[in-house]
Structure 1
Amino acid sequence: MSDDDRLRSISPILNSYAVKPYFVEDFGSIQKIYSDKGTFALKKIALSNRTDFVRHIHFLYQKGYNRIVPIYPATDGRYAVLHKNMLYYLMPWLPNEERENQFQKHQQLFRELARLHTLSAKDIKITSDERNEHYETTVQQWEKDKGFLFEFIDQCEKKLYMSPFELMFCLYYHEISQALLFSQRKLEEWHEKTKDAEKARIVLVHGKVSIEHFLFDNRGYGYFINFEQSRPASPAHDLLPFLSRTLKTYPRQCNDCIDWVYSYFKYFPFKEDEMMLFLSYLAYPGQIIRTAVDYFQKTTRKQERKLVQQLQRHFWHLKNTEFLVMKIDEIERQKKQEKEGSQEKEGAQENNS
């Protein structure tokens, strides 16, 4: 598309904002607009997307959270303009030019995410039936997965000649099943801890946390964008997808991930039951199980070589996650022991006095 065509295509949209464009640059679903009123970002979203995120942004502003790239209203007050079956909204363009200090950028992201969760946190009532239903549904699915793992390993071991995928699965089986057992144990601990609880804590989650959705201005302050999937939910709904994506790499021990997570916990500490459920879901080896199920049920047409590569990548992800889970679990156990030891010492001092 030529520059003139781009200008003609967006002019009807920007007319709603009384903005006259001079030049346009495409960045995927976002366009950088140079205009008579400054430089803007024009975001395009599908018509099927709900615009509740605008209300969520206003809610956060009212709560005093302003580290969000603002959405400008059109001249008629609308925050999204419909054009050719697509919705568009307008924001200021942030330079986001600094590319170094990725560790500090991630730490700042997690601190701001913790602030966002802190300001939007609230307790909601939850019945024991609702909690038990969630627990039973999850247990049934995980027991089904455990049964599949046992059935698949049994069939593989009965073969005289295994396929490359089957041989690799047998090599990985023990660690897959151990991850599943850890997840089940943490889920049981969570259920035992919360079975009589009448409330649960929810926050307004961003919905798609990533460093690409956390931009910096020329002063070095970070701001969130892309709240299109924001919703009230458990705070873990922001952490789990981010960590899962980060750990999809070659085998490595992500000590940075631990620092980032505890930067978050410093400002928004999880309650004991929240930590149990968080670790349960984080450790669960769902991706590698789904790959094995697809192979076993022959629901995929991928070649054996590609399936073996996929299984190996998921195993790397499992091991990377295992390191993070074990470190967090160890830190939390030490903190609990120190707290209990301190309480016992205080109790002994009171008795002696």
Structure 2
Amino acid sequence: MEWQQIFDEYQIRPNYVEQISDKVYKLITNTQNYCLKFSALTKDQLGHWYAVYRYISESHVLGFVPLILTKENSPYYLIDDQVIMVSPWIESYRGDRPSDEWIASFHGLGKLHGSTLQNIEVNYSQDQLTEISQYFENDRKRKKEELLQYIRYFESKRFMAPFELQACMHYRDLEWTMQMMDKWQYIYMDLLKDNQSRKVVLCHGNMKPSHYTLLNDNAYFLNWEYARMDFPSRDLSAYLNSLFTYHDCDMKKINEGLSIYFQYIRFHDIDKCELIFELLDPDPYLSLLTEYVNSTESDEIRRSIQLEKKYRQLLFSNQLEQLLYPQLEVNKEEV
């Protein structure tokens, strides 16, 4: 790698280069520090990313850490088929961080989504509604049969490995999760018949705690290569799932954070349905079972940790479902 070529392109003269990770480097200069990242974007993805970058710049969307331009006024530099991006290095000291980071992050995400909100007109035909309903039915059947197939396979063994025993102990809760999905899908299908618009916002695309920093109660988003216009539930579910991997996740704080987020962008019943679909989807869990059965490698501890994290995400998602379900407008109308 020709480091000097990169430094010349950005007109930066670092005194020291500190490697933070495989793809991130801290460039230390006399006046300012910079973050140099080897992006995971490919050349084929640059066109879409650049369109999003132009939208962020021209619409003056706040919250994203800005990119340093090259001497050719480009927000990225391409060398040896690698995409390089440079931004100011934001140092986050403990004294700068709020006492409750979750609340500040929900504020930041709400501001981002609320400031870029667009309502897209939709009109589903009866054939389209039938197709969606059939997809839900087939998907439910596939997931239930797949889960039951694995559990029967594990239970057929005289002695089960720890991972297999772990999956069997999870079965009852996984089955309950799928029942809750059924309930929300029925509600969703009724809502689609009357709903004439959908919310679309600028999503970060890979929202998790390590991809933002907090300074003076404000959130600044990092690593936004996969930013795109999408349903707000995509970002929200990704962020919640990252929080749900922790065993001590506080659902009271999560509920408080969501209340703050919903002040920036109101979630109607159909939006809440899509959020629940993202959170209660058992496919990531089932993928781990598939990987285990098909693998010849012996890595029991790693697989058990991964399975427990996915299981924990589903457990906390079920708790959130119980909080959101009574808030649905369709339930209030029935009363």
When the two structures are superposed, what TM-score results if normalisation uses the length of structure 1? 0.79
For the residues of structure 2 that align with 1:80 and 1:20, how far apart are their CA atoms?
Answer: 18
Do the aligned partners of 2:19 and 2:25 also contact (CA within 8 Å) in 1?
Answer: yes
1:288 is aligned to 285
For the residues of structure 1 that align with 2:25 and 2:175, how far apart are their CA atoms?
Answer: 47
| Residue 73 in structure 1 maps to residue 69 in structure 2 | yes
Note the aligned Cα RMSD (angstroms): 3.2
Deviation at 1:155, TM superposition (A): 6.0
Residue 97 of structure 1 aligns with an amino acid whose one-letter code is: Y
Residue 191 of structure 1 aligns with an amino acid whose one-letter code is: M
Determine which of 21, 26, 30 is the counterpart of 1:32: 26
Matches within 5 A, 1:53-202: 53-98=49-94, 104-128=100-124, 133-153=131-151, 159=156, 161=158, 163-164=160-161, 167-202=165-200
1:206 is aligned to 204
Do the aligned partners of 2:212 and 2:219 also contact (CA within 8 Å) in 1?
Answer: yes
2:233 is aligned to 236
Do the aligned partners of 2:209 and 2:242 also contact (CA within 8 Å) in 1?
Answer: no
Gaps of 5+ in 1: 1-7, 345-353
Do the aligned partners of 1:110 and 1:260 also contact (CA within 8 Å) in 2?
Answer: yes
Residue 259 of structure 2 aligns with an amino acid whose one-letter code is: Y
Task: Say which is worse superposed, 231-240 or 303-312, in terms of deviation.
Answer: 303-312
Deviation at 1:253, TM superposition (A): 4.9
Matches within 5 A, 1:263-342: 263-294=260-291, 298-303=293-298, 305-306=300-301, 310-330=306-326, 332-333=327-328
| Residue 222 in structure 1 maps to residue 216 in structure 2 | no
Do the aligned partners of 2:209 and 2:239 also contact (CA within 8 Å) in 1?
Answer: no
Residue 45 of structure 1 aligns with an amino acid whose one-letter code is: S
For the residues of structure 1 that align with 2:34 and 2:107, how far apart are their CA atoms?
Answer: 27
Q: Among the aligned pairs, what percent are the same residue?
A: 18
Task: Say which is worse superposed, 168-177 or 181-190, in terms of deviation.
Answer: 168-177
Per-residue Cα deviation, 1:239-287 (whole angstroms, up to 9, x for no partner): 1122112212337553222222222112112111111221233123333
For the residues of structure 2 that align with 1:135 and 1:72, how far apart are their CA atoms?
Answer: 47
Task: Say which is worse superposed, 14-23 or 129-138, in terms of deviation.
Answer: 129-138
When the two structures are superposed, what TM-score results if normalisation uses the length of structure 2? 0.83
For the residues of structure 1 that align with 2:53 and 2:188, how far apart are their CA atoms?
Answer: 32
Distance 1:107-1:132 versus aligned 2 partners, 3 A rule = farther
Deviation at 1:183, TM superposition (A): 0.8
SS in 2 for 1:200: strand
Larger radius of gyration: 1
For the residues of structure 1 that align with 2:111 and 2:168, how far apart are their CA atoms?
Answer: 45
For the residues of structure 1 that align with 2:304 and 2:19, how far apart are their CA atoms?
Answer: 38
Distance 1:232-1:134 versus aligned 2 partners, 3 A rule = farther
Distance 1:15-1:303 versus aligned 2 partners, 3 A rule = closer
| Residue 23 in structure 1 maps to residue 16 in structure 2 | yes
SS in 2 for 1:108: helix
For the residues of structure 1 that align with 2:95 and 2:24, how far apart are their CA atoms?
Answer: 20
Per-residue Cα deviation, 1:207-231 (whole angstroms, up to 9, x for no partner): 01123222244x5533112210011
For the residues of structure 2 that align with 1:76 and 1:311, how far apart are their CA atoms?
Answer: 47
Distance 1:96-1:58 versus aligned 2 partners, 3 A rule = farther
Do the aligned partners of 1:125 and 1:198 also contact (CA within 8 Å) in 2?
Answer: yes
For the residues of structure 2 that align with 1:251 and 1:108, how far apart are their CA atoms?
Answer: 19
Residue 117 of structure 1 aligns with an amino acid whose one-letter code is: H
Residue 277 of structure 2 aligns with an amino acid whose one-letter code is: S
Aligned length: 328
For the residues of structure 1 that align with 2:238 and 2:63, how far apart are their CA atoms?
Answer: 21
SS in 2 for 1:223: strand
1:4 is aligned to none
For the residues of structure 2 that align with 1:32 and 1:101, how far apart are their CA atoms?
Answer: 21
Residue 278 of structure 2 aligns with an amino acid whose one-letter code is: Y
SS in 2 for 1:270: coil
Distance 1:215-1:309 versus aligned 2 partners, 3 A rule = closer
